Amino acid sequence: MALDQSALLELLGELKLTDVNNRIRVATETLYQELIDAEAAAFIGAAPFERSPDRVTQRNGSRLRTLTTTAGELELRIPKLRQGSFFPSLLERRRRVDQALFAVVMEAYVHGVSTRKVDDLVKALGADTGISKSEVSRICGNLDEDVAAFRDRPLADTTYPYVFLDATYCKARVGRRVVSQAVVVAVGVAADGRREVLGFEVGDTESQPFWTTFLRSLKARGLDGVKLVISDAHTGLIAAIDTVFQGSSWQRCRVHFMRNVLANVPKTAGPMVASIIRTIFAQPDLAFCAFPAAHWRQIWSTNPLERVNKEIKRRTDVVGTFPNPAALLRLAGHVLIEQHDEWDGADRRYFSEHSMKLLTAEHEEVAIPELTAA
């Protein structure tokens, strides 16, 4: 799509007011944005506000994406669609995590905690192990800005009826000791049925003060409309949920519950005990039973976070022990940002918009079907 004369004159006026050293970046950013918008218009079958029989869907706002180029950091807007998904062919979907992994490995090397495995990995990434501390600081600084921007983004544009909370553990150096660090994650299902990574944090332990501070930070960013919180039965977490999400229901993850019970009985008795526990899940007074039956299988456990945690572990296992908690937050954060982008651009939602409307409808009393263990 070529820029018309009016757009060119507007760009010229902007460039005149821009520092000479920054003009290439501004011009490149404008060109990239025009190409993205043109590709989106071709994908949709119509330009913005255009009436066309070829239109297949409508735009639904946009999401920001920072592209690192030799011209500088380009701030681009990727159109979001009401149905289906669009991702520009100019951009790479899975680049940010590789950059974060590279930065973490470099930082580990600079801080003197590298091993032969780390050294070999650096070479495999195509980098000279003699990278300077200033270069590592620059790379890490850029990545930390991305994580901070994502963690601080407002959440007030919509409501999140369902919130899933979970944690996974990784090793990091704190002072001269190697300690276990909890990576806590909150995932929400928005009013339109899409999943989002709401936030994440790294801390020493899953204590009540830590969880409370984390959940309050979500509320401060605008998290609202929470009807059901799904999590494990960690004592500190339960107390934090009760404090921060007053008026919301809480569902203990039935998968975690089953694992906890079966871990304390002989293997030979496992099938019998599991069978008995299933009768508990079939009671009508469990928290998830107050919500639409069509949602039950997806809200009675933290399974939506299981895959996310596995991906965090897969990435962090490459590093092994992180040089500090900030490095762990950086890599885990970029894994989660990548997952968020994947959900945002997916063709299917966690729940359809029609299904989510059941939350506001008056529910008729229904019989509780027999539930199998997830």
Q: What is the pTM of this model?
A: 0.65
Q: How far apart are CA 71 and CA 22, in angstroms?
A: 8
**CB distance 161 to 361 below 8 Å:** no
Instruction: Give one word for 61, left, alpha or beta, with left for phi > 0 and alpha for psi -120 to 50.
Output: left
Q: How far apart are CA 126 and CA 235, in angstroms?
A: 46
Q: How far apart are CA 216 and CA 347, in angstroms?
A: 32
9/155 same-domain check: no
Residue 88 lies in a domain: no
Take residue 183 and report the two structure tokens written for it.
Answer: 């990576």
220/315 same-domain check: yes
Residue 27 lies in a domain: yes
Q: What pLDDT is recorded for position 101?
A: 58
Given 44, 59, 81, the domain boundary residue is 81
Given 40, 59, 81, the domain boundary residue is 81
Q: How many domains does the chain have?
A: 2
Q: What pLDDT is recorded for position 362?
A: 46
Residue 162 lies in a domain: yes
CATH number assigned to the domain comprising residue 240: 3.30.420
155/238 same-domain check: yes
Residue 64 lies in a domain: yes
Q: Sign of torsion, CA 316 318 321 326?
A: negative
218/327 same-domain check: yes
Given 81, 110, 132, the domain boundary residue is 81
Reduce the DSSP state of residue 63 to 3 states and report it.
strand
211/355 same-domain check: yes
Residue 139 lies in a domain: no
Residue 369 lies in a domain: no
56/177 same-domain check: no
319/178 same-domain check: yes
Q: Sign of torsion, CA 283 289 295 297?
A: negative
Q: How far apart are CA 265 and CA 273, in angstroms?
A: 8
- Taking only the tens of pLDDT, the chain with its 374 residues reads 455 667 667 767 776 777 666 778 888 888 888 888 888 999 999 888 888 888 988 888 888 877 777 677 788 888 888 877 788 887 765 455 456 556 666 555 444 444 455 555 555 555 544 455 555 566 667 778 888 999 999 999 899 999 999 999 999 988 889 999 999 999 999 999 999 999 999 998 788 999 999 999 999 999 999 999 999 888 889 999 999 999 999 998 876 666 666 677 787 777 777 677 666 666 666 888 889 989 988 998 888 788 899 989 988 887 788 888 988 998 899 889 989 988 988 878 899 888 898 987 644 444 444 444 44
Residue 210 lies in a domain: yes
| 201: containing domain | 145-245+306-359
Take residue 39 and report the two structure tokens written for it.
Answer: 């590709």
328/237 same-domain check: yes
Q: What pLDDT is recorded for position 283?
A: 63
Torsion of CA 89, 90, 91, 92, to 10 degrees: 70
Q: In which residue are the tokens 């801080």 written? A: 111
Residue 95 lies in a domain: no
Q: At residue 230, what are phi and psi to the nearest 5 degrees?
A: -115, 125
Measured N-to-C along each axis, helices 5-16 and 23-44 cross at an angle, to the nearest 10 degrees, of 150
Q: What pLDDT is recorded for position 125?
A: 52
24/166 same-domain check: no
61/201 same-domain check: no
155/30 same-domain check: no
168/23 same-domain check: no
